[in-house]
Chain A
Amino acid sequence: MIRKDFKIISDWIKKDSTVLDLGCGDSTLLEYLKINKNISGYGFEKDINKVQESIKKNINVIQADFNVGLAKYFNSNFFDYAVMTQALQENKNPNHIILEMLRVAREGIVTFPNMGFWKNRFQLGFLGRMPVSNSLPNNWFDTPNIHLCTFNDFEKLCGDLEIIILDKKVLNNNYSTNFLLKIFPNFFGEIALYRFKKD
């Protein structure tokens, strides 16, 4: 069963387009897009074990840290889409990486966990502890998530960077949606997907 967020991303992506997946993991998404949307493109991945898995799937993958690799490998407007799932918060400079995504691609797609989810707010606000939840499973001392944000924070950054949000989907940790998520996304949403482009 393919993850719901991958399904949504696939719906956003046009057939036969070119896609760059930053932090592509074992390339499950790229494989899905290749089969369903006949995309071509590359994945970027640091972890050699995941690179091996991608190669096994016959997906083009470049072992590199995308914080330095993007500028090295790709000219401007090289791709139709630059995708980054659940890795934005692990970046040293999320604002830079978002702009880089929109340099190499016409559109960007990101997914990330919501720090403003009510359980996270509760843990910090009432228990006085750094949140640990399904979408943020790590303790504060061993988390790769160094730049967590809320959906509102992300949307403000997009505004500051003159980026237009084209699509937005908010999900809970089971990658499904409901009435509450639609009314109070920044309170009840756990994961968001955004599609955006430069103004």
Chain B
Amino acid sequence: MQNKLDKNSVGIVSPSSVEIKQSLELDCGKTIENFCLVYETYGKLNKEKNNAILICHALSGDHHAAGYHDINDKKPGWWDVCIGPNKPFDTNKFFIVSLNNLGGCMGSTGPNTLDKKTGNEYGPDFPIVTVNDWVNSQKLLADYLGINAWACVIGGSLGGMQALQWAISYPDKIRNSIIIAAAAKLSAQNIAFNEVARQSIITDPEFHDGHYNKFGVIPKRGLSIARMLGHITYLSDDSMRQKFGRDLREGKLHFGYDVDFQVESYLRYQAQAFVERFDANTYLLMTKALDYFDPAKEHGGDLSKALENTKSRFLVLSFTSDWRFSSSRSHEIVKSLVRARKSVSYSEIEANHGHDAFLMPIPQYLGVLKNFMENV
């Protein structure tokens, strides 16, 4: 217990929630009115209100980015390695805001919450939201918190896309943007993986066209397979070899279809844990938000044109073993920023963890972040 509340942890935290009493026009054409956002904050907002940082979560993340909800929690928030006193996102210096995005399943208005108009759960009728919609909803949260401009918006993977979109959508409301292990748009291969994940959920007999909660069931098998598939793409061949190799769970082959290898056991365990905490409709929605992200589209596919009006400084980071959003995807972002003559630094971090590296305490990674934050 002692080490949980050490001097580098934000300690015990609890989420807040806000009812945004405004209507938000979504990219899909629908409007959402009076929605709730759940968020956590770490550190203190200064008098000038110019030390606020926004943390954007990825596909399966949420508002709980650092610290512990309870002294008995086994794990801290998902980005605890980066957030806390004397960590790269230093809570002695910054006021850090982390929210559960609209359409999420951890308390913010989303498929598993009640539609006040109908009195029923949204379920599959929750509108598909985009990265752009998220940024607009985050802007309303900033207004509510009295934050005129973010000192920095930061995210990895899908979170990095939000950090990029912020710089484009609100050039005067963001001074720095950190885009980690992201891409300016998904490749056909990325979309293909997402489609397999969606199909596995949608074709689960217990999906019931998204109304599974009405039937008192959840599409466990579909969501499990989606998570297993996703998980494989978050790791690298190398890291899986190191972690599991061909190790057998019980020391011998069973000549059956149950678990033989450790890696199978691991994937099943991960999937099981995921199914218990995550909503299938939200998973579908998140994968669509990923697929649809393409800020260059309205500029004839020219990302540097989309970036023309940005004013923030950028830090772009990638990891050598990431094949889901490989370094070359980050190069595209950097190249476009350079062509638009923007202030950008880029570092490619040596890491064998695959896409998940952005969550890992890699010294050089933390060093780059810390150094960049010194000038924020």
Contacts and interface: CB of A to CB of B under 8 A. Distances in A.
A73 interface: yes
Interface string A20-63: 00000000000000000000101000001101111110111111
Contacts, number: 56
B368 A55 contact: yes
Contact count band on A: 20 to 34
A23 B222 CA distance: 50
B2 interface: no
B343 A48 contact: no
A135 B374 CA distance: 35
A93 interface: no
B368 A51 contact: yes
B331 interface: yes
B237 to A, nearest CB: 23
Residue among A42, A53, A58, A63 having the largest count of chain B Cβ atoms under 10 Å = A63
Interface string B241-269: 00000000000000000000000000000
Contacts of A77: none
A75 interface: yes
A56 B371 contact: yes
Interface residues of B, number: 22
A75 B302 CA distance: 15
Contacts of A12: none
B339 A63 contact: no
A74 interface: yes
Contacts of A58: 375
Interface stretch (B39-47, B165-173, B277-285, B345-353): B345-353
B335 A72 contact: yes
A63 B348 contact: yes
Given A52-B364, A52-B367, A60 B345 contact: yes
Given A52-B371, A55-B315, A55-B372, A73 B334 contact: yes
Nearest to A56: B371
Contact of A61 (B331, B339, B345): B345
A55 B364 contact: no
Interface in B195-249: none
Contacts of B347: 48, 51-52, 55, 61, 63
A73 B338 contact: yes
Contacts of A53: 371
Given A73-B334, A73-B335, A55 B349 contact: no
A61 B348 CA distance: 11
Contacts of A59: 345
Interface string B21-51: 0000000000000000000000000000000
A56 B334 contact: no
Interface in B337-376: 338-339, 341, 343-350, 364, 367-368, 371-372, 374-375
A73 B339 CA distance: 8
A54 B367 CA distance: 12
A64 B346 CA distance: 9
A40 B374 CA distance: 20
Contacts of A60: 343-345
Given A56-B371, A58-B375, A60-B345, A48 B350 contact: yes
B376 to A, nearest CB: 10
Nearest to A62: B346
Given A51-B368, A72-B331, 18 more contacts: A40-B341, A42-B338, A48-B347, A48-B349, A52-B368, A54-B345, A55-B368, A56-B374, A59-B345, A60-B343, A61-B345, A61-B347, A63-B347, A64-B346, A64-B348, A73-B331, A73-B334, A73-B338
5 contacts: A55-B315, A61-B347, A62-B346, A73-B335, A74-B338
Interface of A: 40, 42, 48-49, 51-56, 58-64, 72-75
Give the 9 A-B CB pairs with smallest separation, nearest first: A56-B371, A58-B375, A55-B371, A63-B347, A62-B346, A52-B367, A61-B345, A55-B372, A51-B347
